[in-house]
Structure 1
């Protein structure tokens, strides 16, 4: 895990992140240990030893182990929830009146698959620790509610009004979609080590299952 990757991972909204070699080493070893052993079982002393720095150096940059975790997780959450092309996606996929749900699902899922495969350790940390840290839950919730939720709800309501989507409650529909997609990502790219034989086919089957479950029609009757 090199410095360039760490820097790219932590960058948000186009703002560059300046990392010293020592800070990059600390973050790299923290990510590796948190992902492999979990936050609770990882000590700052072993992170410091593996990074080749004194433990006090960690605390000069991060007042506590929790601060170190959140420095890694917060940008990871934003990038996991919000595709790197979020603004473009909202403009081109969510805003047009005649966009199909299938197009939206396909664009989002393929982009998230690409992200998870590239950032497996980061995603593993988020999924492992979210149940144990309220700060991570709040960061996840706020990112989703402010960046994605309003536009998605608006689009689902439009599809219902056009008679293309069953009249389930919007939040129920959204939970069904997100739990299916996140479950797929967790199972295929975090829990399983063997490669997928036909990744595209499996993703397309998942998309079809979601559409069937929602009784989605491309055209209103």
Structure 2
């Protein structure tokens, strides 16, 4: 009988960027709309602020993710270059070092040495990258992918409260944007948790809580500045 396990660690890179982008899109745009609306602005001003926030936020997310993940990628490349040089100059030392890693994980010394020898004969740099440095294809940095997912999902997330503000103007705008944005966040948190194999309830609660806090604070700020104005 075939036994197949579905692991989710390969989703870490894009899932983190996608969830972060969508979450920020919903929270920042909904908070911006609520803050501007609380200051008694016109619907045109509210929509303009929301659109500006969407465009600026998407570009900021893309740039931020690209720079951040590029820095991680540069660090990984530098570590690999250093390891490659060490393998060229001290192959036997590197083999003993890898064997010691396997021995510390529970293998008998003789078996650990054989495993290290065979793995290094197959792919010495790959073996050290995985087991000494902790770099693997599953979790390696991918700047362009992270930037694309962040910007794209931020745009989708930001479009949701913006659409609500466009469809429901007037006195109901703040309530509608608040309630529906929290629903969007709960759904997002639940889907992200399910994709990552975590608790759906916990995933939904944590993004909803912080989203509600952000929207509440911006509503207070908008009200204060609206009164002052």
Hey, which of these two has a bigger chunk of helix by percent? 2
| Same fold per superposition (TM over 0.5) | no
TM-score (ref. length: structure 1): 0.31
Which one scores higher on RCO, CA 8 angstroms, separation ≥ 6?
A: 2
The structure with the larger Rg is 2
